[in-house]
Structure 1
Amino acid sequence: MALKTIRASSMADAASWYCATILLALILLASIRESSNSPTDDDPVRGKQFLQLNRPCDEIYVVGEGETLHTISDKCGDPYIVERNPHIHDPDDVFPGLVIKINPNSGSSNF
């Protein structure tokens, strides 16, 4: 009787390890798929493409790496970004993640 209990316990341990291994493999596979579907580091604003459905500018804009107020102004057509954002004290001190308010395409007729 004790031998059957030991075998049943070993089989339960083996099944539990097998399930844990399969679960870990599924989690790793899902994370690999997720990372391959996410934006690359070459994107100027990570994730913005997915969040805004390929619209270049919205009223609330998050500055991406390598962007300046000048490039954002050209991209969105708003030459008055500094005036609309009193929290920007130095126009040269713009960093990734900074949230700014813009009026998309407001100045495109002025160019």
Structure 2
Amino acid sequence: MGSKNMLADSASWYCAIVLLSLILLVSIRESSIPKDEDVSTSVRGRSRLHDRPCDEIYVVGEGETLHTISDKCGDPFIVDRNPHIHDPDDVFPGLVIKIISTNTNTKNNLMKT
């Protein structure tokens, strides 16, 4: 019975090491070389911000304000839905907010017509 426990412990350690290695490999691979899209975004500045989708969970980009996000995403109640925003003027890149769009027409639909 002791050898079964020893074998199970060895298998558990092996699986843990493999899983940790995979997580490390993926994180290094994703962060090591910027994609062409990332480079063009940083070079062109704000022009790419308006092309981003308005998901329910939204991360504020550089140069964005609650007003511009509200206009773009069609959610006039951003402050009401995000109690962690104490000062609407104190919005910074990386801030995570909840968006519920009231617009049924997206930017893509408007461009098609």
- Relative to the length of structure 2, the TM-score reads 0.52
Match of residue 37 from structure 1: 36
Looking at structure 1, the residues matched to 104 and 88 of structure 2 have their Cα atoms a distance apart, in angstroms, of 21
Looking at structure 2, the residues matched to 81 and 60 of structure 1 have their Cα atoms a distance apart, in angstroms, of 11
Distance verdict in 2 for CA 1:35–1:107, change over 3 Å = closer
Aligned ranges for residues 19-98 of structure 1 at < 5 Å? 34-39=33-38, 40-41=41-42, 42-44=44-46, 56-98=53-95
In the alignment, is the contact (CA less than 8 A) between 1:78 and 1:108 conserved in 2?
no
Distance verdict in 2 for CA 1:96–1:55, change over 3 Å = closer
Alignment coverage as a number of residue pairs: 71
Structure 2 counterpart of 1:59, which letter?
A: E
2:58 is paired with a residue whose SS is strand
Give the C-alpha shift of residue 56 in structure 1: 1.8
Give the C-alpha shift of residue 107 in structure 1: 5.3
In the alignment, is the contact (CA less than 8 A) between 1:60 and 1:100 conserved in 2?
yes
Looking at structure 2, the residues matched to 36 and 55 of structure 1 have their Cα atoms a distance apart, in angstroms, of 16
- Relative to the length of structure 1, the TM-score reads 0.53
Deviations 1:32-89, CA, capped at 9 Å, x for gaps: xx43523221354x8x89xxxx662000000000000000000000000000000000
Distance verdict in 2 for CA 1:77–1:88, change over 3 Å = same
What is the RMSD computed on CA atoms of the aligned residues?
A: 3.1
Structure 1 unaligned segments of length 5 or more: list them: 1-30
1:72 is paired with a residue whose SS is helix
In our comparison, the structure showing a higher alpha carbon Rg is: 1
1:61 is paired with a residue whose SS is strand
